[in-house]
Amino acid sequence: MNHFQKQKILPAAGSIKDFEKLMKTDYEYVILLNSHIAQLQSLIQLANRHQKKVLLHADLVQGLRSDEYGSEFLCQVIKPAGIISTRTPVVSMAKKRSLIAIQRIFLLDTHALNTSYRLLRSFQPDYIEVLPGVIPHIIQEVFETINIPILAGGLIRTKDEAKEALKAGAVAITTSTRHLWK
């Protein structure tokens, strides 16, 4: 199931100011990157008032440990639409609690790629966020190998780079680059 069929760009707010700007856009899904635990409930409420679904990057919540207990708190109390994390137990808890579960992987070298394949075969998140997202042939390889929908993020700076990632098989682009939000 592709939650993002109508949305090829998933704008990622790196600040509260950017998050507030996204409330005035037509995007249904938005990503909240940097946040503080004390701000989360009011930010999710703001998003709900604007009919936005928040994908929360759990690893970047200040004041919250990014483990299964932190994830359980996010799922039960904060209730975003989904959780993004590099940590499998965090993503696993999100999936268990019926939130959109997004496993973020960094493709630094062949070893990291092979380690990611082993991890993803043992656990099936709803989506994989592949970073950097500017390597179209690797996006295609990851999708063909694992067959889990891919979000491409990281270092995508131009519309052409975004188009190439989508053409390679990514279902959407995650980006904090504001000019790509348009």
Overall average pLDDT of the 16-35 stretch: 97
Does the pLDDT of residue 1 top 90, yes or no? no
Q: Which domains can be identified in the chain, with CATH numbers?
A: 9-181 (3.20.20.70)
29-57 pLDDT, tens digit each: 999 999 999 999 999 999 999 999 999 99
Strand, coil or helix: 70:
helix
Decide if 127 contacts 149 (C-beta within 8 A). yes
pLDDT tens by residue, 87-124: 999 999 999 999 999 999 999 999 999 999 999 999 99
Inter-residue long-range contacts of 43-48, CB under 8 Å, 24+ positions, other chains counted: 43/16, 43/19, 44/78, 44/79, 44/80, 46/19, 46/20, 47/23
Question: Strand 35-36 vs strand 150-153: parallel, antiparallel, or unpaired?
Answer: unpaired
Q: How far apart are CA 123 and CA 76, in angstroms?
A: 22
Instruction: Please list the residues that pair with 62 across neighbouring strands.
Output: 36
- Band (pLDDT 50/70/90 cuts) for residue 182 is confident
